[in-house]
Amino acid sequence: MAGDETKTESAVDVMVADPIMLDGSASPRLGLRLKQMLHVELERLGHRVLPDSKLEELKTGAAVVDPRTLENARDILERGKEHYLEFELEHASTSLEQAVAELESILKSLEVMSLLLEALAYLGATHLTLGDEEKAQAAFLELLRRRPDHRLDADTYGPRVLDAFEIARSTARQLSRGEIAISSSPPLATVTVNGQPSGETPVTVESLIVGDHTVMVEAPDHRVWVDEISVTKGSKTLAVRLEPLRIGRLLEDLLAKSEEPKNKDEMISIARDMAQSAGVGSVILMGLRQSEMTHYLIIVEIDGDGQAHTVWTAVDDDYLWARELIARMAESLPDAKDPHFVDTQGTSPSLLPDFNDSLLGFKRLTPRLTPTAIEPSEPLAPSAPLMRRWWFWASILLLATGSGATYQAVRPPTIIQEPDRLIIDAELER
């Protein structure tokens, strides 16, 4: 991302790591929300952002299905089931065929396999009720090819459907079969075929009906291997090389190093390794901490050359306000040269807590209070959040000037309210 002059479809890929909570009071929920906003803004600027599902797969090694794709397939299946139960059979047939196609395209987990079997069962029942026994048998045979011991629920399907399914089972017993001899590096990996445990490598899985079967191979500290394997009559050999996990361990190291600013160079090195392992050009780290009632967000982008680009701002949980700030931060990142901080909100560094003991130590800030302009994205109004009401800030400053506990007032603060902003001018000394 850094150094990229033009934001086009060929823009460098970016990985956004999960937000680091820099203290116990920071809100993880707000952090994830801000991360989602940053995803949107980076994509708007033309960057290809690594999807969260892919990041999770890189972190844990699990075969992760994109949640939106899975939810869409589930919705289509539910519509098909509703149409079937309401005897809207043509609509049911269309929806269920679409659901089967969607689920077959994302067969990476036991959950998806269960949904596919359910969709095939309803599709077969729909075709049978429509009077198309040939299509009904085809759907039932596809189900039994993947799960020969599957049983239909007698409370869900009528006697006619149950009888047709058993006829399909008898037919399946006569179909040609083959076997797969599976080995792996490292050995002793767990093998699952069509969602059913099938032993540890090296292993030969026998009596598979000819056709496609979903094979999953997994071992500790390695990425899960999953694919559709076409089984033919006779024996087939499958040798799987499992990739060692790196991203998960690197993220753990990064989190540990983030607690000390002296580890900045090590963190940059870890981020570069993460970019290499993920196959992206740069990694974006997000840190969130809370001081009093305000959250402060720091975003650091580390590119493949080890260059750090840093921006920070104060945020709250107002969606429109936060989105506007995130947009400005995303636009500012390429030009933000460490250790320079781009203040995207227009607030003085005095409102940022001391980051010396937290994320990266990319900038050592000296707390100070200087004239501050607060510019909300909408006119100030009584309905605005507490922290955007003029009297709130006036009270805070007056309290600071009157207490004498931490700051000594040189003169009383001046408060100027304009249509689109509030200016508070105070001169204090410690």
- Full-model pTM: 0.56
Q: Give pLDDT, residue 251.
A: 74
Task: Return the axis-axis angle of helices 110-130 and 159-173, rounded to nearest 10°.
Answer: 110
pLDDT tens string, the chain, 430 residues long: the values are: 544 433 334 344 888 988 888 777 778 888 888 899 999 999 998 888 988 877 877 777 776 677 788 899 999 999 999 999 999 999 999 999 999 999 998 887 778 999 999 999 999 999 999 999 999 999 999 999 999 999 999 999 999 999 999 999 999 999 999 999 999 999 999 999 998 999 999 999 999 999 999 999 999 878 889 889 999 999 999 999 998 777 777 777 777 766 665 667 777 788 888 888 778 888 888 888 777 677 778 888 888 777 777 777 777 666 677 788 788 888 878 776 544 343 444 333 333 344 433 444 434 332 222 333 333 333 333 334 444 444 444 444 554 444 444 444 455 555 555 555 555 555 555 5
Question: What's the token pair of residue 383?
Answer: 């309905």
pLDDT of residue 308: 77
Q: What is the pLDDT of residue 387?
A: 44
For residue 3, give both structure tokens.
Answer: 């150094």
**What is the reported pLDDT for 425?**
59
Q: Please state which CATH number belongs to domain 67-173.
A: 1.25.40.10
Asked if the domains at 67-173 and 177-241 fall in one CATH topology, the answer is no
Interstrand relation of 342-343 and 308-315 (parallel, antiparallel or unpaired):
parallel
3-state secondary structure the chain: CCCCCCCCCCCCCEEECCCEECCCCCCHHHHHHHHHHHHHHHHHCCCCECCHHHHHHHHHCCCCCCHHHHHHHHHHHHHHHHHHHCCCHHHHHHHHHHHHHHHHCCCCCHHHHHHHHHHHHHHHHHHHHHCCHHHHHHHHHHHHHHCCCCCCCCCCCCHHHHHHHHHHHHHHHCCCEEEEEEEEECCCCEEEECCEEEEECCEEEEEEECEEEEEEEECCCECCEEEEEEECCEEEEEEEECCECCHHHHHHHHHHHCCCHHHHHHHHHHHHHHHHHHCCCEEEEEEEEEECCEEEEEEEEEECCCCEEEEEEEECCCHHHHHHHHHHHHHHHHHCCCCCCEECCCCCHHHCCCHHHCHHHCCCCCCCCCCEEECCCCCCCCCCCHHHCHHHHHHHHHHHHHHCCCCEEEEEEEEEECCCCEEEEEEEEC
Tokens (6 digits) for 196: 């059913």
Specify the pairing of strand 282-291 against strand 20-21. Answer: parallel
| Domain 1-59+245-363 CATH (choose: 3.60.20.10, 3.40.50.10070, 3.40.50.1970, 2.40.50.140) | 3.40.50.10070
Could you give phi then psi for residue 332, rounded to 5 degrees? -80, -25
Beta bridge partners of 177: 209
User: Is 3.40.50.450 the CATH classification of the domain at 177-241?
Assistant: no
State which amino acid sits at residue 208. Answer: L
By C-alpha distance, which of 357, 373, 292, 284 is closest to 326? 284
- The structure tokens 């980051």 sit at 355
pLDDT computed for residue 166 by the predictor: 96
Domain boundaries, the chain: 1-59+245-363, 67-173, 177-241, 369-430
Give one word for 46, left, alpha or beta, with left for phi > 0 and alpha for psi -120 to 50.
left
Residue in the block written with tokens 């629920």: 153
CA-closest candidate to residue 31, choices 16, 17, 21: 21
Sign of CA dihedral 123, 125, 129, 135: positive
